[in-house]
Chain A
Amino acid sequence: MIKQLIPRMTEICGPDGVVSDLAELRTYECDGLTSHRVTPALAVLPRTAEQVAAVVRECAAAKVPFVARGSGTGLSGGALPHADGVLIVTSRMRRIIAVDPDSQRAIVEPGVTNLSVSEAARPFGYFYAPDPSSQVVCSVGGNVAENSGGAHCLKYGFTGHHVTGLELVTPAGELTWVGDGTGAGPGYDLLGLLTGSEGTLGIVTKIVVKLTRIPQLVKCLLAAFETTGAGGAAVSAIIGAGILPAAIEMMDALAIEAAEAAVACRYPEGAGAVLIVELDGPETDVLRDCVAVRALCEQAGATEIREADDPAERAAIWVGRRSAFAAVGRISPAYIVQDGVVPRTALGPVLDKIAELSAASGIRVANVFHAGDGNLHPLVLYDDSSAEATAAAETLSGAILDLCIEHGGSITGEHGVGVDKSRYLPKMFGADDLDTMQLARCAFDPVSLCNPGKIFPTPRLCGEVPGARRGPHPLVASGQLDQF
């Protein structure tokens, strides 16, 4: 069936833009979440928005599902291919169209990597604020799909706060601009709806992003504590003092141990937890906040505090944190990363409970997290050669999400629902909530061809909406008015 599309797809994307060889297709079988794998029936690598639109039109006409993929670094299986569908890979759409420091905007194609936007803006004194830890490789298009955050979103917000215009290929294959780049145009806030919709409402082909002024001074503090509880108390004290750092990150003993083994980050020896606090802004304010944060950490029982303000020293502090996931990968055959969120004030009890669950099940859990906004990344360590160990790790992982929901939090802070967490979504939202979200889906994609099977556990058919439609306005009916 899908093979019939190959000639037309080749016409659209060129012979080097269509992948139909099974071995080659396998390279796209998963994204950053490797536990889910599906080989797509076909992959295309368009170079232009018009090509994406033409591909989608072909799919829509043939009723073939399609899935967009950026750099494939997602951690929820959002870009998991459809076995009978077309995978639309945006990696060849890598133009930075403009960097406009005078309007604090850049226009990029979806395959452009996150970090390269900041690099292009740096000579003008600006950067692109959302900074997922995969920013060297992850794509801006993927960031839009997932509403990506990062360590610094505590102060600067998420992708959704920085997108002011999108060129979109609708699931019907129409090319349209949503938003005019101002961030203040008329009409529904479709930008807000599209950002974070995990590729289920269309495929973005251009993105207008806000650029942020590079701060005058950046200071980074590393504070060691005996326990995560003490570190958590320091976090509460900092926020309670009205200080808004750019980032507050925490790692527990096991994560520190793994990072030390992997990258020799030389965090204080024997620490039960380390806190990384980054402060940025006007010099006077940063210096004052820095003194305050030091004092608050000391009061919370910090055993050692280091301070860095030049980029190399800061990088030395961050290296342990940035390498944490990979480092844990070296001390365990496999691990599950969770992305649950709890209110910051619930961090202490939730971490205690995770420790209890870990002890009771005998499964090691390393904690690396965005402490400032309560976004946990517990790494559940297990041996994937054992089916029993795998099941136990999944059970523990699910219990951690339950814990987050119990405390009024969320099952995902930045990784997205994708295929991985759709079964947990009904624990956060009722049937009416999910049905209402589906209405938006039906408005964009009534036939459910655009990244089907993601986010929602039980997609409702479109067109089942109750309620009679009122007839058109008499003036519209009589042709005197267009739509009024």
Chain B
Amino acid sequence: MLADPVLRALTAACPGSRPASPGDAVAGGTPRFAASPASVAEASAVLRAAAEHDLAVVPRGSGSKLGWGVPPRWCDLVVDTLRLDQVLEHAAGDLVARVQAGVSLHRLAEVLGGAGQELALDPAPGLGAPDGVVPTRAGVDGAGVDGARPDGTGGGPGAHLDGGTVGGTLATGAAGPRRLRYGTPRDLVIGITVIRADGTVAHSGGKVVKNVAGYDLGKLFAGSFGTLGLIVEAVFRLHPRPATAAYVTIECADATEAHRAVAAASASVLAPSAIEIDRPARDQPITVGVLLEGEPAGVGERAALMGELLGAGARAQPSQPAWWGWPGSDPAGPAGTLVRVAFWAAALLRVFAVIDGAARSVGLDPAVGGSAAAGVIYVAAGPGAHPAAVAAFVSALRAALARGEADARPAPAAVKGEWSGTGRWAGGGVPPVLASAVVVHAPPAVRDQVDLWGPVPALPLMRAVKDQFDPGHRMAPGRFAGGI
């Protein structure tokens, strides 16, 4: 048997190696082997063994986002990080935590919550396990998913954290509504330890927030979907956990009204932590919601002022509205299609027009929602939508974006250069396209018909980076943008 010597080598490197089972499937395909290293040394050894045997490797945390991105071209070995499950250090006085990649966000929230701190990330839309793959194994990361909320605030930030791991969150760059205030994982990671494709262990950054020594590989690995190496450890900057949250919402009749509300909240001095929108269907009103966080007195006062700003009909509530952030329950469902549209915030109205135009042209009526003020919204088509229509929608959407139809048009007074009046700045000086549409996840029938990532600026540089870090193209091959 060919597998035996390879499995022997993997087991010698990492005793937690085994023949893969159907539970180890990646996007429907079962790899030959699975390994669960229990230490950085084992992780390094198992990747070295994989290199020696020319195995294609897919890193995995809890598997909650394994259906994101393109299915890998090859997968011989799944390396999961679930036994790398130690919170190595929580320096509360320094607002820093050093954790192994397999720690779940939920567990980390529990540990940090004890000191009134948090990793300021909330769940991204679209979490789920597409293709019916349920990778969660008993006793590993299932406990927190539906269990008690880590912070006990009954719906405040940190509630609904999915079973995703620190490593997986970092590798996918997943972020939810509070990205407006705190950014995404790349903004919070201050140090990282990775295993390269050849087994080399490498660090960058460190344990202090302010640090410019050497290249910042943490940012490079953030959102790299396992294509550059295996993340085994990360150091994060923490924040004090806000004592109170208030959600101020208003129902808007149409996109124009919603845009006005979002812009007003965004331009206010009330320091919103998130500004979200939700439109379940085209002919339905758009709900705009603003999250305010902090000490009770201040939050109460700001919520009242925000209500006035949003207009008659605004109401404040202490708990998350059901639609907030679409965590784990986006209207697409894990088996549907979720598209992330990024744009310059001023273009919200145009983005709605482009989405609606593309959807109408193919007879779809997808739900739209997300972080409007941060310039990131999601379009969700349920599993029942016709795959050809969904694929045509994505293509039509991208074509409109490429024509600049969703590019922001700054107020003429603000433009120092020349404005051509056609939706583009004259004479360059601006990125060629100011928006993108990425398919976060989609069922196989859609994936077959559309490039999930779409056009990517600076792709040749990204390929060059990939070639250097993984010259054999064995790390999650093909999973990333541009076939990387």
B462: contacting residue among A124, A182, A188, A467, CB under 8 A: A188
Please encode chain A, from 398 to 442, with 1 for each CB lying within 8 Å of some chain B CB and 0 for all others. 000000000011111111110001000100111011111101111
Q: Is A47 an interface residue (CB 8 A)?
A: no
Q: Which of B5-13, B58-66, B262-270, B355-363 contacts A (4 or more CB under 8 A)?
A: B262-270
- Closest B residue to A104 by beta carbon equals B345
Q: Which of A65-73, A282-290, A358-366, A383-391 contacts B (4 or more CB under 8 A)?
A: A282-290
Give the size of the chain A interface in residues (CB under 8 angstroms): 112
B414 A183 Cβ-Cβ under 8 A: no
Q: Is A239 an interface residue (CB 8 A)?
A: yes
- Closest B residue to A161 by beta carbon equals B187
Say whether, besides A187-B456, A189-B220, A439-B468, A161 and B183 are in contact (CB < 8 Å).
yes
Bound together, the chains give a CA A216 to CA B301 distance in angstroms of 14
Q: Which of A56-64, A92-100, A250-258 contacts B (4 or more CB under 8 A)?
A: A92-100
Q: Is B274 an interface residue (CB 8 A)?
A: no
Q: Which of B319-327, B379-387, B470-478 contacts A (4 or more CB under 8 A)?
A: B470-478
Min CB–CB distance B455 → chain A (angstroms): 8
A284 B297 Cβ-Cβ under 8 A: yes
Min CB–CB distance A128 → chain B (angstroms): 14
Q: Which of A15-23, A219-227, A304-312, A369-377 contacts B (4 or more CB under 8 A)?
A: A369-377
A282: contacting residue among B51, B222, B271, B340, CB under 8 A: B271
B204 A437 Cβ-Cβ under 8 A: yes
Q: Which of B198, B218, B220, B243 has the most CB of A within 10 A?
A: B220
Q: Is B425 an interface residue (CB 8 A)?
A: yes
Q: Is A105 an interface residue (CB 8 A)?
A: yes
8 A-B pairs with C-beta separation under 8 A:
A99-B416, A180-B433, A236-B93, A343-B207, A373-B208, A412-B212, A428-B206, A484-B483
A437: contacting residue among B92, B187, B215, B431, CB under 8 A: B215
A146: contacting residue among B54, B94, B212, CB under 8 A: B212
B216 A193 Cβ-Cβ under 8 A: yes
Please encode chain B, from 377 to 414, with 1 for each CB lying within 8 Å of some chain A CB and 0 for all others. 00000000000000000000000000000001011001
A288 B210 Cβ-Cβ under 8 A: no
B459 A417 Cβ-Cβ under 8 A: no
For A111, the chain B residues whose CB sits under 8 A away are none
Please encode chain A, from 192 to 204, with 1 for each CB lying within 8 Å of some chain B CB and 0 for all others. 1101110000000
B421-455 with Cβ < 8 A to chain A: 425, 429-436, 438, 453-454
B223 A410 Cβ-Cβ under 8 A: no
For A442, the chain B residues whose CB sits under 8 A away are 468
For B468, the chain A residues whose CB sits under 8 A away are 439-440, 442-443, 465
Min CB–CB distance A476 → chain B (angstroms): 8
Bound together, the chains give a CA A149 to CA B342 distance in angstroms of 27
- Closest A residue to B243 by beta carbon equals A242
B222: contacting residue among A189, A341, A345, CB under 8 A: A189
For B239, the chain A residues whose CB sits under 8 A away are 244
A425 B213 Cβ-Cβ under 8 A: yes
Say whether, besides A284-B302, A467-B472, A96 and B267 are in contact (CB < 8 Å).
no
Say whether, besides A186-B456, A373-B210, A436 and B200 are in contact (CB < 8 Å).
yes
- Closest B residue to A175 by beta carbon equals B428
B210 A196 Cβ-Cβ under 8 A: no
For B415, the chain A residues whose CB sits under 8 A away are 98-100
A105 B344 Cβ-Cβ under 8 A: yes
B425 A181 Cβ-Cβ under 8 A: no
Min CB–CB distance B180 → chain A (angstroms): 10
Q: Is B211 an interface residue (CB 8 A)?
A: yes
Q: Which of A134-142, A152-160, A313-321 contacts B (4 or more CB under 8 A)?
A: A152-160
- Closest B residue to A281 by beta carbon equals B271
Q: Is A264 an interface residue (CB 8 A)?
A: no
Contacts A100-B410, A147-B212, A473-B73 supplied; 4 other A-B pairs, CB < 8 Å: A240-B93, A244-B240, A284-B298, A470-B477
Q: Is A459 an interface residue (CB 8 A)?
A: no
For B207, the chain A residues whose CB sits under 8 A away are 343, 408-409
4 nearest CB pairs, A to B: A192-B219, A102-B346, A242-B240, A436-B202
Min CB–CB distance A50 → chain B (angstroms): 9
Q: Is A39 an interface residue (CB 8 A)?
A: no
Q: Is A344 an interface residue (CB 8 A)?
A: yes
Bound together, the chains give a CA A240 to CA B374 distance in angstroms of 30
For A153, the chain B residues whose CB sits under 8 A away are 210
A192 B267 Cβ-Cβ under 8 A: no
For B425, the chain A residues whose CB sits under 8 A away are 97-98
Q: Is B140 an interface residue (CB 8 A)?
A: no
B408 A103 Cβ-Cβ under 8 A: yes
Min CB–CB distance B333 → chain A (angstroms): 23
- Closest A residue to B89 by beta carbon equals A408
Please encode chain B, from 190 to 226, with 1 for each CB lying within 8 Å of some chain A CB and 0 for all others. 0000101110111110111111111111111011100
Q: Is A179 an interface residue (CB 8 A)?
A: yes
B202 A432 Cβ-Cβ under 8 A: yes
Q: Is A332 an interface residue (CB 8 A)?
A: no
Min CB–CB distance B237 → chain A (angstroms): 9
Q: Is A469 an interface residue (CB 8 A)?
A: yes
B215-269 with Cβ < 8 A to chain A: 215-220, 222-224, 228, 239-241, 243, 263, 266-269
B472 A444 Cβ-Cβ under 8 A: no
- Closest A residue to B301 by beta carbon equals A284
